[in-house]
Amino acid sequence: MGRARLGVISVAIAGAVAFGGCDASENADVDRGRALFQTNCGTCHALAQAGTSAVTGPDLDAAFAQARSDGMDNDTIEGVVQKQISHPREIEKGANNYDQVYMPADIVTGQDAEDVATYVGSVAGVPGAKPPPLGTPDQVFAEKCGGCHTLEAGAGSGVGPNLADALQGKDAAFVKKQIIDPNSNITEGFQPDTMPQDFSQQIPDKNLDELVDYILEQVAGGGA
């Protein structure tokens, strides 16, 4: 899959007139789109309703807030997002982050892309948008951790280490520290500042403790 330099999505809004009134998919599944966004896009982009806070790529709420305030509708934002997924805007040579920030073209395709675009179009830049209440520990893991980590023993690593392997022999205090202060202990081969630094604000204490217990149970049981 080719790699394209990622530009600020708000720049693309200037060319969004062609998408006005066009619905990328009337049959899109926004719940599925949210899950796909968290897994494929949330590791780089912040989006309040998705509960993601990564800073590698543009903050999508900030990118679309003014346009939405000026009257851009969901369908138009949806069209912009679909175009950015298939043809990420390149950063011009000479830009400060030209050699640092990349987005692959077609990171999701087909119905997946339609679901993601429709979801983002429905929530990006919406004032006061926030994620729904957190669910069970496995759901919290899927939402907050699953986009970067796996709990399947022996599986390859993703953006972050395979926790079924990396956390062997570790206790609850270590795991919790890694969640709320991820730079406190960097696994060999991975870079600091990749994992969100604000999970202590995103995840209430009760959910956090349950998440730690769930992760340790999976590690002890050989992963899931």
Query: Hey, where are the domains in the chain?
Result: 3-123, 137-220
Percent of the chain clearing pLDDT 70 (strictly above):
81
Q: Residue 72 carries which side chain, given as an amino acid letter?
A: M
- Specify the range with the lowest mean pLDDT, choosing from 28-42, 49-63, 85-99, 179-193: 85-99
Secondary structure (3-state) at 152 = strand
pLDDT band at 60 (very low <50, low <70, confident <90, very high): very high
Q: Which fold has domain 137-220?
A: Cytochrome Bc1 Complex; Chain D, domain 2 (1.10.760)
Alpha-carbon gap, residue 91 to 58, rounded angstroms: 12
Specify the pLDDT at position 5.
46
Sign of CA dihedral 33, 80, 51, 167: positive
Exposure of 157 by Cβ count < 10 A (0-12 exposed, 13-18 middle, 19+ buried)? middle
CATH 1.10.1660 fits 3-123, yes or no: no
pLDDT, average across residues 174-199: 89
Mean pLDDT of the chain: 83
Phi, psi (deg, nearest 5) at residue 93: -60, 140
Alpha-carbon gap, residue 74 to 201, rounded angstroms: 29
Which span out of 87-91, 101-105, 196-200 was modeled with the highest average pLDDT?
196-200
214 CB-near residues (< 8 Å, 6+ apart): 137, 138, 140, 141
Please answer whether residues 19 and 72 qualify as being in contact, where contact means their C-beta atoms are separated by less than 8 angstroms: no
Specify the pLDDT at position 154.
77
Secondary structure (3-state) at 47 = strand
Secondary structure (3-state) at 145 = coil
| Domain 3-123 shares a fold with domain 137-220 | yes
pTM for this predicted structure: 0.64
Instruction: Please name the residue ranges forming H helices in 41-197.
Output: 60-69, 74-86, 110-123, 137-144, 163-166, 172-180
pLDDT, average across residues 53-71: 90
